[in-house]
Structure 1
Amino acid sequence: MSIEKVAVIGAGVMGAGIAAHVANAGIPVLLLDIVPEGATDRNAIAAGAVKKMLKTDPAPFMSKRAAKLVTPGNIEDHLADIADCDWIVEAVIERLDIKHDLYAKIQAVRKPGSIVTSNTSTLPLSKLVEGMDDAFARDFAITHFFNPPRYMRLLEIVAGAATREDAVADLTDFADRRLGKGVVLCNDTPGFIANRIGTFWIQCALVEAMDRKLPIEEVDAVMGRPMGIPKTGVFGLMDLVGIDLMPHVDKGLGDNLPASDAYQDLRRELPLIQKMIADGYTGRKGKGGFYRLNKEGGKRVKEAIDLTNGVYAPAKKASLSSVSASRKGGFKALMAHDDRGGAYAWAVMSKILAYAAALVPEIADDVPAVDRAMKLGYNWKFGPFELIDQLGAGDFAARLKEEGRAVPDLLEKAAAAGGFYRIEGGKLQFLDVTGTYADLVRPEGVLLLEDIKRAGEPVAKNGSASLWDIGDGVACLEFHTKLNTFDPDMLKMVGKAVALVPNKGFKALVIYNEASNFSAGANLGLALFAANTAMWPLVEEMVEQGQKAFLALKRAGFPVVSAPSGMALGGGCEVLLSSDAVQAHAESYIGLVEVGVGIVPGWGGCKEMLLRLSKDPKRPRGPMPPVSSSFETIGTAKVAKSAFEAKELGFLKASDGITFNRERLLADAKARALALVEDYAAPEAAELTLPGPSGAAALRLALKDLTARGLATPHDQVVAGGLVDVLTGGPGADITEPVSEEEVLKLERETFMKLIKTNGTLARMEHMIETGKPLRN
């Protein structure tokens, strides 16, 4: 059964977020909640939730247009409307009596075969279906989303003994393809997978830190990047999700886990936590949490709490030799170090890893499911079993034995076999519960570059980029610098790829990588170094090299499809603008942000925006509208916060594709490239009609007004003035004479070079490199 309409009952943070994300996928949603007492608007709770989400940052909606697909209602008046829905999600308070009462009402009005799921994170499915008839039990499952539903990729699905297999298959397929979720099938056990292990990790980290009287800054320095865990660490994470959530999650696990479970040994009264919650220190949503921002002398000062007395003091940067050692030796070096950071890391993580090994197959059928759940649900770079392999399964087991601790049976098997994962014949394999290895099989339609790289060698490679054969006559250009920033070697590989594709018999090129961000643009540090040493010919050469490389991409005699995910800024955006088509991950953040560092787009960004906006049938005709729109978008450094917004801003074309599941992006881009091969013709050189001095005068007048209102700084005027010259065609442009692409590129290059020689631009570049934030000078 295809899912074409969804109902979400419960318009709290989670329920509303689920509804918003279903709407992001283009699916109509009915959002219901109770009728508030004494309210004139009986739909006030659901309607208010939608209104609030439109103002929330980060935004639950990928586009404001998606909000129109959510229909607010209330349970008393509109429950019968769920009869049109294929999937009904219950997201009400975690009380069995309330859920059972609601399920009885749902069963009375839902259509046969519609799927009903609960978003519970604590209640077992066996208890949820108690007293319900067989038809309801067959159509019922748990779909545990993580907050916020748009951004957190994990979806845990739990099926009951009576749940239809095809219902689970339909949910899995919809969540995977339409919602972009990494679906993990879990067993019906307390906390499922991610929260069972994640809560144990947080509780253990907190208790050990208190017992050892460690500063929280040191704890987060250890429990963060050295382990491949987000830099928030433990205490920063608790502040982010809400400290007041901890007692509820702890109670849920404590009440449902057997007395013999290792988690029960960690539970204790934590007076400091209770006092923080009572005083309103619940994290970022409250007055502060373990960390808070305080104002001192007009400046905001970050403060950290002392776990021993609850007193705040200015946060200090942790300096631990174990953390320093981890930068070279990784997780293994951290765990082996003898300072207090290393001792703390071992005390916490050895318990977590052993606990995880003892839970398979109780919570999941295999180790990849557990690793995947922790990576997608808690943003760990490595799952527990991947971390054990970094330590060496045999070494880890041996150290546990030396300390007189129990070694789980599965860990014993991994120690004997040589680890939980291995590569055999170019394929990744995992150790199953029987102690034998099995191939890790990807779902149909998933193509990952990491698998291709594991099985073969690149067609071409340098230190900044590689060219891979991804099959069916399609090549893939991968960037692999820090943040995938462009340097001369990457630009060389772009040019080399254009030549190699036809020479090696390929039919098309896909530009794609599996880093967190597609590309953050040009290597700013390299440009600043050259500028500070007055190596102007080198700077100009790099600008010209980029222009030639991207123009070659655009005019190549074969289809070029770019597949971004994460940030595609500056030069990263210009790659997209130079491609025949884009297949973008829905979570792509695209923009031309050069003005923030005092320059203008120099690799064809201005030219391409003018071209595509002048051809957009939905925009006004004439020479000035595309110039004005480009000036507003580039001049304010707008960044699209989703692929849908990127279409609205013109960074993506209406015909460009959007993929929700990150793991399906490469396969979708490859299919799009192959579809373009037949009858392909490279775009011909284009000409633009630009307004020249008259258009420039109009834009300068608008800029003068912004300056008078205090919205533009002195150097903003300089940079925006240069942008005006490029977009209007320069002082010699005439509305009656077309301007070629090469002429606009020349203007970009000249303006770029003029700006980079100013003190204001150099100050902006230095500030961006030092702080990561733009300077308003």
Structure 2
Amino acid sequence: MSRFNVRKVAVLGAGVMGAQIAAHLVNVNVPVVLFDLPNSKEGPKSAIALKAIENLKKLKPAPLGTPELAARIQPANYEEHLDLLKDCDLVIEAIAERMDWKLDLYTRVAPFIAPHAIVASNTSGLSISKLGAVLPEDIKPRFCGIHFFNPPRYMALVELIATPATQPLVLDQLEAFVTTTLGKGVVRAKDTPNFIANRVGIAGMLATIHEASQFGLSVDVVDDLTGKKLGRASSGTFRTADVVGLDTMAHVIKTLQDNLGPEQANDPFYPSYGTPPVLAALIEKGALGQKVGAGFYKKEGKAILRLDPATASYVPAGKTADPLVERILKKPAAERLKLLRESSNPQAQFVWAILRDAFHYVAVHLADIADSAREVDFAMRWGFGMKQGPFELWQDAGWLQVAEWVKADIDAGKALCAAPLPAWVFEGPVAEAGGVHTPAGSWSAAQSTFVPRSNLPVYARQHFPESVLGSGAVDPLKSGTELFKNDEVRVWTLDGEVVIASITAKLHLISPTVTEGLLKALDIAEAGYQGLVIWSPDDVFSAGANLEALMPVFMKHGGKGIAPEEKKLQDMMLRMRYAAVPTVAAVRGIALGGGCELAVHCAQRVVAMESYVGLVEVGVGLLPGGGGLTYIARRAAERAPAGADLLPFLKDGFQAAAMATVGTSALESRKLGYVLDSDIVVPHKDELLFVAISQAKALAAAGWRAPAKALFPVAGRNAKATIQASLVGMRDGGFISKHDFHIASLIADVVTGGDLDAGTLVTEDYLLALERKHFCSLLDHPKTQERIMGMLQTGKPVRN
């Protein structure tokens, strides 16, 4: 497959979705032209797009990796700038969900679209074939649907939808771009109303509202039951509706109502698509959810209120699930569903009812909406935050037993409709396999066979792609050839050329055992391999040092007893930096404290876009003691011109460490100095290992030599005094506590080199000794001990 080179993208429509799609594109370094209507009032013609771009800097969660990226979005309007479309390789239409408006826009822009460009509509459920019908014949083969989920930066799912005229190569090229460049999980959906995720998800929300009314449950109890306790997004059902917008939800419901009635598809679930009276009442009075401050929930001051449908008024929220039901929901799937179904508790009956409704719905509609059950489960996981899709849960709980339970409820008139489960549920390959997912593939009801995963070249970049239960996916930590293993580190190789070290301890905390394992990995790599990659297959690179592991030594010998262990940790960090082979930190998720220090001491970092990196030791009353402060001082010296004042180059690094600032993306971490310009940012987390191994080999092939150990200048006592003066102001102004002042002063002492003249040349060992000294002294401080114990007991920082 030829590579589709996207040099520039046009986004048509600067509304909520259009602007945020543009933001995500510039996050991954793709230039964007953002179009909207020409301004009819005073001011620039592209005022609508300009305002949308400016607004991106204020939104939470932030659509931009850093606010400065907004400048990379070029504002435009349809009156003056249509010629700009000729330079765009991809055109994404994202205007309001009105068929007539979209068709009118397509007619207007079609003459300006480049002859090779892909054109895609970001509709949440309109017919892609009807949208494409108005396009010229030469554009139709390059037209498809591309449905991003909101917010586009954070939601993994993108649905791609072909028309009968769409060229297969076009969809393949777009899937590769969306996967690798945008970092998304792609599901191909059929051109049916609301596609897969919204079809199943909104039907599920309507069923939930119906069942909640049947069982008399309040919105806060329902959200507690249908959130994390059920393995779903923490916002549950009603809060999710508020976040999405009740008007948006009503629009998606209307798509079901308009397209699935007896005159169209004759969907047996059609009667359940009615707009719930409670939703209609809220919309009528303008309570559209979070964006207007009121919906199913309302915030008054610090109080969270919930809607009481019986009185149409708001009352205090905060009710939670019955402890009995909470215990049931912690059971294994088979036992969980059995107990829910047999319980007389209304909450348990409610949960069984919504799960039964989901199983019933996806089984009846599988043939119509998706190529296989895998697409349904991935769509619900990536688009609605479920840990397991509906087919996965069904299979996990025992396929035929659950099917019999669902059938019994249908026969008893308890289900949403009387449509029977399809015959393939009870007999044939699915019944024999015990479910829809097998190592051979996932069940396609339309083709009556198990369909394997896509074999597009882009997926060769994912050594261990996300998988569905039952697919027989290999466990990364049992793969490859094992070279060494202790209780907390596995050292292995996939290809016999690069060593991989995977920390297996809880939260990948760095203990003496981990230090030992990483040193062993270095020994093995240096003895006959091209490089070392530090990677683990979950969203934690390392959450820091394991303080609990050092507790017995501390209790016996105090802070001075920790000094030798701290020295071993620092020595390991230096081994990483000066190794005879390139060391690559493959950072995914959180890299905090010691995890951040481990990453910055590697030769290179390959960082997943949505990673959180920072030195956070202040939260437990300590300072970075694994070389983090030495790194900050050395980097300042490397960045400053010879003989220059080092303080300006030191200031941001000091502040980040003293304030425990965490980069909330790889791009923010680059601004903080924990990720360098020469490091690689990877949008798709499942491509991280592939890129890290490739980088290790590339460094080796380029003739890798470790940096020479060298002396470097420090800022000295005058810079320390300047920092100290600002800290005094913060302490006296009540912005930091006395203990925060004390810790920050010690951090300043290390990063400036202590009591030395400006420009004095020092070694890393000199600064590491200062780190060690102050780290151990803080361990003996009562206030630090309070913070450590508070963190170990509650998991939350203590600000004393």
* Superposition TM-score, scaled by structure 1 size: 0.92
How big is the shift at 1:279?
A: 4.7
Distance 1:735 1:294, change over 3 A: same
How big is the shift at 1:190?
A: 0.8
2:173 equivalent among 149, 170, 175: 170
Number of residue-to-residue matches in the alignment? 767
Provide the residue aligned with 2:27 in structure 1.
24
How big is the shift at 1:101?
A: 1.1
How big is the shift at 1:392?
A: 1.6
Provide the residue aligned with 2:254 in structure 1.
251
Provide the residue aligned with 1:729 in structure 2.
753
Distance 1:592 1:379, change over 3 A: same
2:109 equivalent among 106, 111, 117: 106
Provide the residue aligned with 2:676 in structure 1.
653
Counterpart Cα distance in 1 of 2:582 and 2:589: 23
Farther-moved stretch of structure 1 (767-776 vs 182-191): 767-776
Identity %: 33
Counterpart Cα distance in 2 of 1:640 and 1:179: 20
1:244 partner SS: helix
Residue 232, structure 1, aligned to residue 244, structure 2: no
1:683 equivalent among 691, 707, 716: 707
| Contact preservation (8 Å) 2:126, 2:193 | yes
Provide the residue aligned with 2:362 in structure 1.
356
Farther-moved stretch of structure 1 (235-244 vs 92-101): 235-244
- AA in 2 matched with 1:419: G
After superposition, the CA RMSD in angstroms is: 2.8
Farther-moved stretch of structure 1 (455-464 vs 217-226): 455-464
Question: Runs of 5+ in structure 2 lacking a partner?
Answer: 412-419, 466-472
Distance 1:416 1:342, change over 3 A: farther
How big is the shift at 1:16?
A: 0.6
1:607 equivalent among 630, 643, 647: 630
Residue 761, structure 1, aligned to residue 767, structure 2: no
- AA in 2 matched with 1:261: D
2:369 partner SS: coil
Distance 1:48 1:392, change over 3 A: same
Residue 740, structure 1, aligned to residue 743, structure 2: no
Provide the residue aligned with 2:279 in structure 1.
273
Farther-moved stretch of structure 1 (483-492 vs 63-72): 483-492
How big is the shift at 1:89?
A: 1.3
Farther-moved stretch of structure 1 (213-222 vs 449-458): 449-458
| Contact preservation (8 Å) 2:558, 2:780 | no
| Contact preservation (8 Å) 1:389, 1:420 | yes
Question: Runs of 5+ in structure 1 lacking a partner?
Answer: none
Distance 1:47 1:363, change over 3 A: same
Distance 1:666 1:456, change over 3 A: closer
Distance 1:236 1:330, change over 3 A: farther
How big is the shift at 1:674?
A: 1.0
* Pairing of 1:153-168 with structure 2 (within 5 A): 153-168=156-171
2:96 equivalent among 93, 100, 103: 93
1:669 equivalent among 648, 673, 692: 692
Farther-moved stretch of structure 1 (762-771 vs 652-661): 762-771
- AA in 2 matched with 1:101: D
Counterpart Cα distance in 1 of 2:708 and 2:443: 54
Counterpart Cα distance in 2 of 1:319 and 1:702: 52
Counterpart Cα distance in 1 of 2:218 and 2:538: 33
How big is the shift at 1:66?
A: 2.5
How big is the shift at 1:738?
A: 2.7
Provide the residue aligned with 2:414 in structure 1.
none
Provide the residue aligned with 1:150 in structure 2.
153
Distance 1:619 1:286, change over 3 A: farther
Provide the residue aligned with 1:430 in structure 2.
442
Counterpart Cα distance in 1 of 2:295 and 2:547: 36
1:134 partner SS: coil
**Which deviations, in whole Å up to 9, do the C-alpha atoms of 1:234-268 show, x marking residues without a partner?**
22322322233221111112211244424423234
Provide the residue aligned with 1:591 in structure 2.
614
Distance 1:85 1:102, change over 3 A: same
Provide the residue aligned with 1:408 in structure 2.
422
Counterpart Cα distance in 2 of 1:604 and 1:768: 22
Counterpart Cα distance in 2 of 1:332 and 1:560: 46
Counterpart Cα distance in 2 of 1:567 and 1:124: 40
Residue 9, structure 1, aligned to residue 12, structure 2: yes
| Contact preservation (8 Å) 1:358, 1:410 | no
How big is the shift at 1:369?
A: 1.9
Counterpart Cα distance in 1 of 2:656 and 2:189: 45
| Contact preservation (8 Å) 1:272, 1:307 | yes
* Pairing of 1:55-204 with structure 2 (within 5 A): 55-204=58-207
* Pairing of 1:536-615 with structure 2 (within 5 A): 536=559, 539-540=562-563, 542-615=565-638
Provide the residue aligned with 1:448 in structure 2.
464
Distance 1:246 1:737, change over 3 A: closer
- AA in 2 matched with 1:705: G
| Contact preservation (8 Å) 1:613, 1:650 | no
1:417 equivalent among 415, 433, 437: 433
How big is the shift at 1:726?
A: 1.4
Farther-moved stretch of structure 1 (128-137 vs 142-151): 128-137
- AA in 1 matched with 2:407: K
Provide the residue aligned with 2:470 in structure 1.
none
Counterpart Cα distance in 2 of 1:520 and 1:457: 27
2:378 equivalent among 358, 372, 384: 372
Farther-moved stretch of structure 1 (721-730 vs 617-626): 617-626
- AA in 2 matched with 1:576: A
| Contact preservation (8 Å) 1:210, 1:308 | no
2:329 partner SS: helix
| Contact preservation (8 Å) 1:394, 1:416 | no
| Contact preservation (8 Å) 1:280, 1:287 | no
Counterpart Cα distance in 1 of 2:19 and 2:37: 13
**Which deviations, in whole Å up to 9, do the C-alpha atoms of 1:701-750 show, x marking residues without a partner?**
1212333444333222111111112112233x444653222222221122
Distance 1:532 1:13, change over 3 A: farther
How big is the shift at 1:353?
A: 2.2
Distance 1:445 1:595, change over 3 A: same
2:461 partner SS: coil
Counterpart Cα distance in 2 of 1:111 and 1:288: 45
1:389 equivalent among 387, 395, 405: 395
| Contact preservation (8 Å) 2:718, 2:758 | no
How big is the shift at 1:38?
A: 2.2
How big is the shift at 1:313?
A: 2.1
**Which deviations, in whole Å up to 9, do the C-alpha atoms of 1:177-209 show, x marking residues without a partner?**
221122221111111111111111211112111
How big is the shift at 1:522?
A: 2.7
2:606 partner SS: strand
1:403 partner SS: helix
**Which deviations, in whole Å up to 9, do the C-alpha atoms of 1:379-429 show, x marking residues without a partner?**
222222221221121222222233345323443342222223345xxxx74
Provide the residue aligned with 1:467 in structure 2.
491
Counterpart Cα distance in 1 of 2:41 and 2:206: 42
| Contact preservation (8 Å) 1:613, 1:619 | no
| Contact preservation (8 Å) 2:715, 2:752 | yes
Residue 489, structure 1, aligned to residue 524, structure 2: no
2:584 partner SS: strand
| Contact preservation (8 Å) 1:194, 1:374 | yes
| Contact preservation (8 Å) 1:357, 1:410 | no
Farther-moved stretch of structure 1 (310-319 vs 672-681): 310-319
Farther-moved stretch of structure 1 (8-17 vs 222-231): 222-231
How big is the shift at 1:171?
A: 1.7
| Contact preservation (8 Å) 1:596, 1:774 | yes
1:471 partner SS: coil
